[in-house]
């Protein structure tokens, strides 16, 4: 306890406010430490309820995690337990090294004010057995947040650094290297995540899993340029998985993979007011990869996004039937994509702006037609899109490829004005779209 008390201290809130050792101080929070009041604007899902800012009045316990420890992990957990049910865990400016897995899935009515720089032990072999591991696409976490009514905020000061170059170099030397996700939720409900900078993740930046009513706002996600020999890999900005009522907004992302990806069973998700550079797009999927699995993505609205120098922009990717794949194992999953809208998008030199495929992952059209997807696509809208494309596919600016009109219905495209570098009329590849309404130049 004596050692612990030196690592988890409290802020001297009032000269007369003292508490027993290791219990934290009660009193009025400093104004700049109070959780920001974050709102989903201009759109929010129906009955959207992120964290209630019960500490807006400035009262509650504060538990400070001291910087400089050889492993901040146990002290973060202890601080969270101490300040659970109404307090704030505070990371003052300084460096925090997490060298052991941090399980924060017990949270209730608590804030995390991250003003310091958090990083993780550079030891791929150690983390192989120490992360929280999931079956879906080999996902694994250094740390994970779960519980109810939680605010996690950096106030423009906090940094979470994944030391990506170490991990990308390790992967270049050994392709089996297991790379954790930088930030993860598992069973987090009614929460806000705001005001943080995230840099160079080993794998994805964020995975929002098994969670609901999450508002993510005012984040900066940055992948630094890397040598060709050790490129950044799989640096998705946000992936949602088995989650509903999620809003991702008002953020800037520079990365090398999907800006946002809606993974299986993502419903009622809004993405708005983002700037993405160098990515693979705002992507539904990939879905239908695993035989016997049912994947749903429904009620998704993407609004007011700028995308620059990316491979794709508005993108839906579904696997064909398993028989169409080279190994006969990938693809063939069941489910649906329904009620997905891309609205008010600006393209700056992207390769392909509008992409829909049920022949994902190098499946040729002949095999895709012969073994169509089991996962149905229905009611997808692309509208109010403008800007420029790169020369890669000039004059083609998009492709809408269904594996069969029986499993792909009601695709709409309108008010789209894209200019390829050649100045020629923009064209689209369109396949198996019998009952769709497309105001575009299909060839």
The pLDDT of residue 59: 61
What is the C-alpha to C-alpha distance for residues 380 and 335, in angstroms, rounded to an integer? 15
Mean of pLDDT over the chain: 92
What is the C-alpha to C-alpha distance for residues 123 and 334, in angstroms, rounded to an integer? 38
State pLDDT tens for residues 171-218.
999 999 999 999 999 999 999 999 999 999 999 999 999 999 999 999
The pLDDT of residue 2: 36
What is the C-alpha to C-alpha distance for residues 287 and 263, in angstroms, rounded to an integer? 7
pLDDT score of 37 more than 50: yes
What is the C-alpha to C-alpha distance for residues 49 and 34, in angstroms, rounded to an integer? 19
Instruction: From the candidates 25, 75, 280, 409, give the one annotated as an active-site residue.
Output: 280
The pLDDT of residue 327: 85
* Widest CA span in the chain: 78
Peptide bond into 42 cis (omega under 30): yes
State pLDDT tens for residues 313-341.
999 999 999 999 988 889 999 999 999 99
Residue 281 DSSP one-character state:
-
Burial grade of 32 (CB within 10 A; 0-12, 13-18, 19 or more): exposed
The pLDDT of residue 162: 98
Q: Which residues contact 304 (CB under 8 A, 6 or more apart)?
A: 272, 273, 274, 343, 344, 345
Lowest mean pLDDT across 53-62, 120-129, 232-241:
53-62
What is the C-alpha to C-alpha distance for residues 54 and 36, in angstroms, rounded to an integer? 11
The answer to whether 320 and 400 are in contact (CB under 8 A) is: no
State pLDDT tens for residues 270-320.
999 999 999 999 999 999 999 999 999 999 999 999 999 999 999 999 999
State pLDDT tens for residues 201-214.
999 999 999 999 99
The answer to whether 114 and 91 are in contact (CB under 8 A) is: yes
The pLDDT of residue 55: 63
What is the C-alpha to C-alpha distance for residues 67 and 117, in angstroms, rounded to an integer? 9
What is the C-alpha to C-alpha distance for residues 66 and 95, in angstroms, rounded to an integer? 9
171's tokens: 């992967």
297's tokens: 């993505």
**Active-site annotation holds for 189:** no
Burial grade of 289 (CB within 10 A; 0-12, 13-18, 19 or more): buried
User: How many other C-beta atoms are found inside a 10 Å radius of the C-beta of residue 9?
Assistant: 18
Lowest mean pLDDT across 21-35, 91-105, 121-135, 145-159:
21-35
* Angle made by CA atoms 372, 374, 379, in degrees to the nearest 5: 95
The answer to whether 64 and 51 are in contact (CB under 8 A) is: no
CA 243 to chain centre: 12
User: Can you list the domains of the chain with their CATH numbers?
Assistant: 1-245 (2.160.20.10), 280-443 (2.160.20.10)
Q: Which is it for the CA torsion 396, 264, 196, 189, positive or negative?
A: positive
Whole-model pTM: value is 0.93
Task: Average the pLDDT over 47-73 and give the result.
Answer: 85
320's tokens: 């064909």
Residue 27 zone, left/alpha/beta (φ > 0; ψ -120 to 50; rest) = left
The answer to whether 310 and 277 are in contact (CB under 8 A) is: yes
Beta-strand relationship, 102-114 and 88-91: parallel
Query: Helix, strand, coil: what percent of the chain each, to 5?
Result: 10, 45, 40
Confidence category of residue 387, pLDDT binned at 50, 70, 90: very high
Q: Which residues contact 173 (CB under 8 A, 6 or more apart)?
A: none
């Amino acid at each position: 306890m004596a050692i612990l008390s030196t690592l988890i201290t409290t802020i001297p809130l009032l000269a007369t406010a003292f508490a027993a050792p290791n219990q934290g101080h009660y009193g009025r929070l400093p104004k700049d430490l109070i959780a920001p009041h974050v709102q989903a604007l201009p759109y929010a899902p129906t009955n959207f309820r992120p964290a209630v800012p019960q500490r807006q009045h400035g009262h509650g316990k504060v538990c400070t995690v001291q910087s400089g420890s050889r492993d901040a992990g146990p002290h973060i957990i202890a601080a969270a337990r101490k300040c659970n049910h109404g307090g704030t865990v505070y990371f003052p400016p300084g460096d925090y090294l997490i060298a052991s897995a941090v399980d924060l899935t017990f949270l209730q009515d608590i804030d995390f004010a991250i003003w310091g720089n958090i990083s993780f032990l550079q030891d791929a072999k150690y983390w192989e057995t120490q992360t929280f591991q999931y079956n879906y696409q080999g996902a694994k976490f250094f740390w994970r947040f779960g519980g109810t009514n939680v605010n996690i905020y950096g106030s423009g000061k906090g940094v979470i650094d994944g030391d990506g170059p170490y991990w990308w170099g390790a992967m270049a030397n050994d392709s089996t290297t297991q790379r954790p996700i930088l930030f993860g939720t598992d069973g987090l409900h009614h929460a806000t995540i705001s005001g943080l900078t995230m840099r160079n993740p080993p794998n994805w930046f964020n995975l929002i899993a098994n969670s609901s009513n999450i508002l993510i706002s005012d984040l900066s996600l940055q992948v630094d340029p890397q040598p060709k020999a050790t490129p950044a890999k799989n640096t998705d900005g946000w992936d949602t998985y088995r989650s509903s009522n999620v809003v991702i907004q008002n953020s800037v992302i520079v990365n090398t993979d999907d800006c946002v990806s809606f993974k299986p069973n993502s419903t009622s998700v809004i993405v708005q007011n983002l700037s993405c550079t160098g990515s693979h797009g705002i992507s539904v999927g990939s879905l239908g990869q695993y035989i016997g699995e049912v994947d749903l993505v429904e009620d998704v609205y993407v609004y007011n996004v700028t995308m620059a120098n990316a491979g794709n922009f508005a993108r839906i990717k579904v696997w064909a039937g398993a028989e169409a794949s080279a190994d006969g194992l990938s693809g063939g999953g069941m489910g649906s994509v329904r009620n997905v809208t891309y609205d008010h998008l600006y393209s700056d030199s992207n390769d392909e702006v509008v992409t829909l495929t049920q022949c994902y992952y190098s499946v040729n059209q002949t095999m895709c037609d012969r073994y169509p997807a089991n996962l149905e696509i229905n009611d997808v809208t692309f509208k109010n899109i403008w800007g420029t494309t790169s020369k890669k596919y000039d004059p083609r600016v998009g492709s809408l490829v269904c594996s069969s009109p029986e499993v792909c219905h009601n695709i709409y495209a309108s008010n789209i004005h894209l200019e390829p570098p050649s100045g020629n009329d923009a064209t689209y590849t369109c396949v198996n779209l019998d009952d769709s309404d497309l105001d575009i130049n299909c060839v």
